[in-house]
Structure 1
Amino acid sequence: MAISAADVKQLREMTGVGMMDCKKALTETDGDIEAAVDWLRSKGLAKAAKKADRVAAEGLVAVASEGKRAAVVEINSETDFVARNEQFQTIVKTAAQLALDVNGDAQALANADFPGTGRSLSGELTEAIAKIGENMTLRRAAVLEVEDGVVGHYVHSAVSEGLGRIGILVGLQSTGDKAVLEALGKQIAMHVAATNPLALSSDDVDPEAVERERSVFIEQAKASGKPDNIVEKMVEGRIRKFYEEVTLLAQTFVIDGENTVEQAIKNAEKDAGAPIKITGFVRYALGEGIERETSDFAAEVAAAAGTA
């Protein structure tokens, strides 16, 4: 029988399940909406939809590389326990590979065919939610590419190859020795993991962030009681220090503790046999920026016991 769009819409509103699954449920139950709800519940899909409003701030970050191109993806879950689940790890690792095909477009990635399933990545996540019992969300994805050279990468707190809590990509543009570039790229990626720079250079720092810092520095300098001309010099000195602390090229390279990252790159050019330029970097730290729910555990226990 023909399934109306209105019935699909109604079932979706009742269960929160995706349109295609709602249509399939109605087809399987000859258009009976109540039976379709039960069908979705039997497949675990309605149960999965109810979990979809729960905060997911744990999970995994994955990196996939093709030499001159690399992708980084973050997929979240509710607890870090899921990060040890083999099914979840496979999904995240596959998502990173798929991200290369869609150039890091998160929406296209969600809709991309998940190999061997006949489902999209989004559909595969829905299946995993029903099986594992936690909300899971594809949060973001990015691809970094260079015309010639390598995209260095590093995963921190790795649970397996290419999977962990922090993923970094660093683009190195160069015609030099690829082995030298790959080694340098990994070192710089490790540096980025440790220092979390705001930008590549001073030219790339958000002007609003600079002005916020400047305002703070001005107030601090004025409190010293020094003349305005001295205050101005103090502020400019602190701004220069700020740039040194937050821009990748100006930071002290954590690998040697002496040179700036910019100088370390110049030093590597001799071994590489060609000039090297950082074209950009991407750093994904698991759950950053997600507002996590907090609760009073003692109050919850008291309420459950009927004493609150």
Structure 2
Amino acid sequence: MAKSNGKTGVVVLLGCETDFVAKNEDFVKFAQSVADLALANNIKTVEELGAAQLDGASVTDKVNDQVAKIGEKITLARFERVDAESVAAYIHGNYRMGVLVGFNKETTEETGKDVAMQIAAMNPIAIDEKGVSEETIAREKEIAIEQIKAEGKPAEMAEKIATGKLAKFFKENTLLQQAFVKNGDQSVAQYLKSINADLTVTGFTRVALG
């Protein structure tokens, strides 16, 4: 369940064993109430959320009540939070995925949804290349060099070609460089600049079942 009050967004992942339960109206309402509680009480961690009081009992106890009521394993599996000048929340695929995206400036609901849908569809690993870990960069570069060597290309060419392959990796896997899903002729960064020259993403999270 993903929710935002405009400045803060939360995603609460309640794990269950079947799609039947995941789509159950009462179960969805319970997830919504937990997300609302997290927003209203400025919850910051999953442990804090589990201890928070909901209708006279802790969220953990309420989850256990759901287990007894429904008859299958229910868990408070994950909690994520994004704080920003403007935060959009998006739920995708019958409550199977929640996305939060934070912006540096106030923006429209449509823009927030567009970027959140991009994150849901394309699963970027970071906002831009500065957010990609050194370990990931080193691994991708090593894979590229091994591929180049396997193709029989000269070793002196390997570094240059690997740099090009790494640039392609960033373009495909970092949010601002990705092709915008609603208009492949522009990147997400270019789309944001078309809305406001200074608009950018400051943080995001994508939480999916399974």
Provide the TM-score with structure 2 as the length reference. 0.94
Residue of structure 2 in register with 1:107 after alignment: 47
List alignment gaps of at least 5 residues for structure 1.
1-61, 159-163, 288-308
- How far apart, CA to CA, are the structure 2 residues paired with 1:229 and 1:208? 23
Q: What are the residue-to-residue correspondences of 1:48-63 with 2, within 5 Å?
A: 62-63=1-2
Residue of structure 2 in register with 1:142 after alignment: 80
Matched, 1:264 2:200: no
- How far apart, CA to CA, are the structure 1 residues paired with 2:184 and 2:66? 44
State the aligned residue count. Answer: 209
Provide the TM-score with structure 1 as the length reference. 0.65
Residue of structure 2 in register with 1:232 after alignment: 159
Conservation of the 8 A alpha-carbon contact between 2:12 and 2:78: yes
Shift of 1:68: 1.5
Residue of structure 2 in register with 1:156 after alignment: 92
Match of 1:94 among 33, 36, 58: 33
- How far apart, CA to CA, are the structure 2 residues paired with 1:104 and 1:165? 22
Residue of structure 1 in register with 2:7 after alignment: 68
- How far apart, CA to CA, are the structure 1 residues paired with 2:186 and 2:128? 16
Q: Name the % identity.
A: 40
Instruction: Specify the code of the residue in structure 1 equivalent to 2:62.
Output: E
Matched, 1:123 2:61: yes
Shift of 1:243: 0.7
Residue of structure 1 in register with 2:201 after alignment: 278
Matched, 1:174 2:105: yes
Instruction: Specify the code of the residue in structure 2 equivalent to 1:131.
Output: K
Conservation of the 8 A alpha-carbon contact between 1:71 and 1:104: no
Structure showing greater relative contact order (alpha-carbon pairs closer than 8 Å, 6 or more residues apart): 2
Shift of 1:154: 1.3
- How far apart, CA to CA, are the structure 2 residues paired with 1:188 and 1:112? 31
List alignment gaps of at least 5 residues for structure 2.
none
* CA RMSD of superposed structures (Å): 1.4
1:186-229 CA deviation, whole Å, 9 max, x = no partner?
A: 10000000000011110111211121111111111012222222
Conservation of the 8 A alpha-carbon contact between 1:63 and 1:155: yes
